[in-house]
Amino acid sequence: MQPRLAKYLALCGLGSRRHACRLIDAGLVTFNGRPASHRDRVSLDGHETCLDDIRVAGVRLRPPQAPSYWLFNKPVGVDCRLLAQDPCSLLHLLPAGPRLYPVGRLDKDSRGLLLLTNDGELTHSLMHPDFGHSKTYHVRLNLALDAAFLTQMAQGVSYKGISTLPCDTRRLTDDSFEIVLTQGLNRQIRRMSQALGYRVMDLQRVALMRLELGDLAEGQMRPLTEQEIAGLVHLKQAKSPPTSQ
C-alpha cells in the first residue's frame, strides 16, 4: 500500500486532505529532502511504518495516532481558526494531545456544536460539499418572523449572486426558528436573513447529522459514544461524493 501524500498527512492528523493539499502547495512539506509533490506516494512497511522522511514546516511528521472524536459546545467569541497567537482561538481550549481539529467552522459570533477529531479522512468526508450532510441551527432574529419568511428561507434565498438550496425550517417562537442546511456557505444563515430584512441576534448549531448537542454545557467537551462513532465510520468508506442527479 502506497497512499498519496495528502491522504497520509490527513491520516497523521494534520486536518482534512484539502488542508494537506494546501500545505503541499505552500511549500511547507518536504519529501525525502525535497519539496513535496501531490504525486508523491508514501512507502509503508508491513507494520504500516512510514519509510520516507516527511517533514512539515521542518518538523518530521509523527506517525498516525489512534483516532479521537469529541463534541465541543463552542461559546460566542471563540475563533475556530487554530492560531496560537490569537488569545480567542479554539486552540487554547483544546487538550495538548492528541491534536484535534474542528470539522468545519462556526463564526466567532455563533455558538454550539463542533465536532473535533484527528481523523483527517472523516473530516474530508464531512466537509466535502457534494455529500450534503445536514446541520441544524436554532436562530433568534431582531424582529418577529412571519410564515412568508419561513417559506422563503425554505425555498432558497438569493444574495450577492448566490442562490441557496432548499432546506427545512420550522418556527420555534415568535422571533426564532430552526433551520436544517446541507450547504456550508460562509455566514449563510446571517446573509439569508439579512436578504429578507432581518438581523440574526443569536445563532446556535444544535446538531450535525445525528450528533446532537443535548445538555452539554457551553465551553465543555465530551468524547463521542461508541454508537456515535459507529454512525460516522461508514462516511470514511465512501471513495467519492455521490453523483448529482
Q: How far apart are the first and last CA of the chain?
A: 34
Give the residues across from 79 on adjacent strands: 89
* Residues recognised as catalytic: 107
Residue 199's closest CA among 130, 87, 109?
109
H helical segments located in 26-116:
none
- Residue 171 CB partners (closer than 8 Å, separation 6+): 145, 150, 177
Q: What is each CA distance from 152 to 135, 164, 186, in whole angstroms?
A: 19, 11, 19
Provide the CB-side half-sphere exposure for 96 (13 A, CA): 0
